[in-house]
Amino acid sequence: MILIKFLKKIRNIYLVDVKYRKYSIGTGFHSGVRVRLWAKSTLKIGKNFYIGRDSFIETDCSIGDNVIFGNKVAVVGKYDHHYQQIGVPVRLASAMRDADYSWKGLNLVTRIGNDVWIGYGATIVQGVQINDGAIIAAGSVVTKDVEPFSIYGGNPAKKIANRFESAEDLDEHYRISFGK
């Protein structure tokens, strides 16, 4: 058990300091297996981030502290391929990963706040903002901004509940977690 914990720690250090060194990743990073991270310009990840196996981030993204991604979560681009390029099949069109790409989406950053939980198999589309304390239900597709301390689910994701049952509970959580 101690050896497994040690090996996981070494693997995470390798990922942060070697494989993903061009990105800004805070302390306490943990990645499941077969995770891919890619951003054209910016990928900033806060402290205590967990990303489950088979998940990927493939767009510019900013993630706060104490965030958890379940397995198979995807943060994907909205304009990864220039699908309006006249006379060119989408498969052959210019793509976001190309150095000379100049179509839509270049300045869209997905923003995920602090204390967010994104459930198994959820997909987050480029450019949305998931505010502090939100929860995204498993299998959801997030295409629009998400309110703080709310639970969203479905395709497309819609608000289904508040995270806390009372304003007092939210205030107490906010005071303890965020020091305010």
pLDDT tens-digit series, residues 14-53: 899 989 999 999 999 999 999 999 999 999 999 999 999 9
Catalytic residue, candidates 30, 81, 82, 173: 81
Secondary structure (3-state) at 13? helix
The pTM is what? 0.91
What tens digit of pLDDT does each residue of 159-168 get?
999 999 999 9
pLDDT at 179 over 80: no
150-153 vs 158-162, strand pairing mode: antiparallel
User: Looking at residue 45, what is its pLDDT?
Assistant: 98
Q: SS3 string of 45-107?
A: ECCCCEECCCCEEECCEEECCCCEECCCCEEECCCCECCCCCCCCHHHCCECCCCCCCCCCCC
% of the chain residues with pLDDT over 90: 68
| Residue 81 falls in the annotated catalytic set | yes
Q: Lowest-confidence range among 91-95, 115-119, 125-129, 154-158? A: 91-95
Integer Cα distance of 166 and 161 in angstroms: 12
Tokens of 3: 């050896």
What tens digit of pLDDT does each residue of 130-160 get?
999 999 999 999 999 999 999 999 999 999 9
pLDDT at 180 over 70: no
Give the chain's mean pLDDT.
93
User: Looking at residue 25, what is its pLDDT?
Assistant: 97
